[in-house]
């Protein structure tokens, strides 16, 4: 276990101050929760569970991690175990198990959780291959348990407003959707764990690329806005993958998706930018456009009549899962609705190795482990790719294969 997959700044910013109606347990009974993975993004879950416990919604009964939790980070009433196996052997019937661990552990830990009577909260990405996804879906179906996937951005109230805006024709006919992410990650980012930047470890899939981990929410949010939830909602996925860092996976890529309804969804992403900028999803309409900064729950709509901006609240996914248990509230990010995203991950997993961007097109800023790669002209390249729904190769960029 150790450091979880969602340790990037995107997940951290997405987790800030969720706004929701806190569910109340039936007949005064709180949900007994077990957390697997208490470091990295697991620390967010600890804070959130502390909030929910103070509200009388949950009781954190146990945690598991091979690395002991930081002093004071876990309530004294919660038992600590080195792994999920030991936790389950000593903890009778938890109601909810949260798994916030490295990508390659999601499948075995998720399956182990579904073998119990607990509902499952599984951090993004769900698993590291489509085969594992299908296995997990079948296990969930047989168990009858609910599974929530940790795409926190999908809890934004802006998504319902966007759906209403599109249906009203406020920006005309929707012609395409794009996701733009440009962040900075230094050498230390790839040294923080043995799986960082890996496609696989000892034959086990990891798929830790820019679109599947640090900027996975950009892809997932664009797909949700496009109405692409399940595998049946996606007609095709094309990848154009590159790397400037000394890693196995991609750090600068275009993913072009076409939905079953024929809508193009283009994701242009990098962690080799000049500076980090909040990622955003753009809806391109015949009479205007809307830009959704999903980490900030901020929606800006521009038409011939002018520009408007609105901030929205967000539902917490853990609270939503508990509300689902209690009164059947609709899950915000159910397992099957990650099918469209998993087709993207599978296309990346099975694609040729990312092409190395020539050194003449990469500048290194900083020294030592604090140094980060900057792909020359990447901001303009991302803008062109999303505007034209084109790959880097199609744009004729000098470093593109």
Report the candidate in 172, 139, 45, 29 with the shortest Cα–Cα distance to residue 93.
29
Contact 241, 228 (CB under 8 A): no
What is the distance between the alpha carbons of residues 301 and 276, in angstroms, rounded to a whole number? Answer: 23
In a domain, 4, yes or no: no
Please give the structure tokens belonging to residue 63: 């945690």
Indicate the burial class of 123 (C-beta count within 10 angstroms; 0-12, 13-18, 19 or more). Answer: buried
Give me the residue label for tokens 């059947």: 328
Q: Please tell me whether residues 87 and 211 are part of one structural domain.
A: no
Domain boundary among 131, 153, 175: 153
Q: What is the CATH number of the domain that holds 253?
A: 3.30.360.10
Contact 104, 205 (CB under 8 A): yes
Our count of domains for the chain comes to 2
Please give the structure tokens belonging to residue 131: 């085969």
Domain boundary among 153, 175, 193: 153
**H or E stretch covering 321:** helix 317-327
What is the distance between the alpha carbons of residues 159 and 177, in angstroms, rounded to a whole number? Answer: 14
Domain that holds residue 144: 9-153
Domain boundary among 96, 121, 153: 153
**H or E stretch covering 10:** helix 9-14
Q: Please tell me whether residues 128 and 196 are part of one structural domain.
A: no
pLDDT at 7: 46
Q: Please tell me whether residues 278 and 248 are part of one structural domain.
A: yes
Q: Please tell me whether residues 377 and 233 are part of one structural domain.
A: yes
Q: Please tell me whether residues 90 and 26 are part of one structural domain.
A: yes
In a domain, 161, yes or no: yes
Contact 91, 119 (CB under 8 A): no
In a domain, 322, yes or no: no
Q: What angle do CA 393, 357, 194 make, to 5 degrees?
A: 120
Q: Please tell me whether residues 125 and 221 are part of one structural domain.
A: no
Q: What is the CATH number of the domain that holds 107?
A: 3.40.50.720
In a domain, 319, yes or no: no
Report the candidate in 320, 158, 124, 348 with the shortest Cα–Cα distance to residue 240.
348
Q: Please tell me whether residues 50 and 130 are part of one structural domain.
A: yes
Q: Please tell me whether residues 120 and 163 are part of one structural domain.
A: no
**H or E stretch covering 165:** helix 158-168
Contact 281, 291 (CB under 8 A): yes
In a domain, 240, yes or no: yes
Torsion of CA 314, 335, 78, 39, to 10 degrees: -80
DSSP single-letter state for residue 83: S
Q: Please tell me whether residues 373 and 273 are part of one structural domain.
A: yes
In a domain, 148, yes or no: yes
Q: Please tell me whether residues 212 and 280 are part of one structural domain.
A: yes
For residue 233, CA distances in Å to 102, 180, 204, 283 come to 28, 22, 28, 18
As averages over each run of 10 residues, the pLDDT of the chain (401 residues) reads 45 49 56 96 96 96 96 94 98 96 97 98 98 98 98 98 98 98 98 95 96 98 98 98 98 98 98 98 98 98 97 98 95 98 98 98 98 98 98 98 82
In a domain, 25, yes or no: yes
What is the distance between the alpha carbons of residues 311 and 306, in angstroms, rounded to a whole number? Answer: 17
What is the distance between the alpha carbons of residues 31 and 17, in angstroms, rounded to a whole number? Answer: 21
Q: Please tell me whether residues 237 and 378 are part of one structural domain.
A: yes
Please give the structure tokens belonging to residue 377: 């002209």
Please give the structure tokens belonging to residue 16: 């800030």
DSSP single-letter state for residue 352: P
Q: Please tell me whether residues 136 and 243 are part of one structural domain.
A: no
What is the distance between the alpha carbons of residues 155 and 313, in angstroms, rounded to a whole number? Answer: 9
Beta bridge partners of 181: 269
In a domain, 388, yes or no: yes
Indicate the burial class of 203 (C-beta count within 10 angstroms; 0-12, 13-18, 19 or more). Answer: exposed
pLDDT at 14: 58
Residue length of the chain = 401
pLDDT at 22: 52
């Amino acid at each position: 276990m150790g450091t979880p997959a969602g340790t990037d700044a995107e997940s951290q910013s997405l987790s800030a101050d969720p706004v929701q109606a806190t569910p109340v347990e039936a007949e005064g009974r709180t949900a007994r929760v077990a957390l697997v993975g208490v470091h990295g993004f697991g620390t967010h879950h600890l804070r959130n569970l502390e909030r929910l416990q103070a509200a009388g919604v949950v009781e954190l009964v146990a945690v598991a991690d091979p690395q002991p939790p930081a002093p004071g980070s876990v309530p004294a009433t919660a038992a600590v175990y080195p792994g999920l196996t030991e936790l389950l052997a000593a903890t009778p019937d938890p109601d909810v198990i949260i798994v916030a661990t490295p990508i390659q552990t999601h499948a075995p830990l998720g399956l182990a959780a579904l073998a119990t009577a607990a509902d499952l909260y599984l951090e993004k990405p769900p698993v590291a291959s489509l085969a594992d996804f299908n296995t997990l879906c079948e296990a969930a179906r047989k168990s009858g348990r609910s599974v929530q996937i940790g795409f926190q951005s999908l809890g934004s109230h802006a998504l319902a407003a966007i759906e209403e805006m599109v249906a009203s024709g406020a920006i005309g006919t929707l012609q395409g959707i794009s996701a733009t992410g440009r962040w900075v990650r230094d050498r230390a980012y790839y040294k923080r764990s043995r799986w960082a930047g890996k496609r696989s470890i000892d034959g086990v899939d990891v798929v830790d690329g820019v679109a599947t981990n640090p900027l996975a929410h950009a892809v997932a949010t664009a797909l949700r806005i496009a109405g692409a939830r399940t595998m049946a909602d996606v007609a095709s996925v094309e990848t154009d993958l590159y790397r400037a860092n000394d890693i196995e996976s991609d750090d600068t890529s275009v993913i072009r998706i076409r939905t079953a309804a024929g809508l193009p969804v283009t994701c242009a992403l990098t962690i080799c930018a000049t500076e980090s900028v909040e990622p955003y999803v753009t809806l391109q309409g015949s009479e205007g456009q809307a830009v959704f900064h999903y980490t900030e729950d901020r929606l800006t709509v521009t038409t011939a009549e002018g520009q408007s901006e609105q901030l929205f609240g967000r539902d917490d996914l853990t609270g939503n899962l508990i509300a689902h248990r209690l009164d059947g509230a609709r899950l915000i990010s159910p397992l099957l609705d990650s099918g469209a995203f998993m087709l993207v991950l599978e296309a990346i997993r099975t694609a040729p190795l990312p092409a190395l961007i020539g050194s003449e097109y990469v500048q290194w800023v900083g020294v030592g482990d604090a140094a980060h790669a900057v792909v020359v002209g990447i901001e303009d390249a991302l803008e062109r790719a999303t505007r034209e729904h084109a790959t880097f190769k199609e744009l004729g960029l000098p470093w593109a294969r």
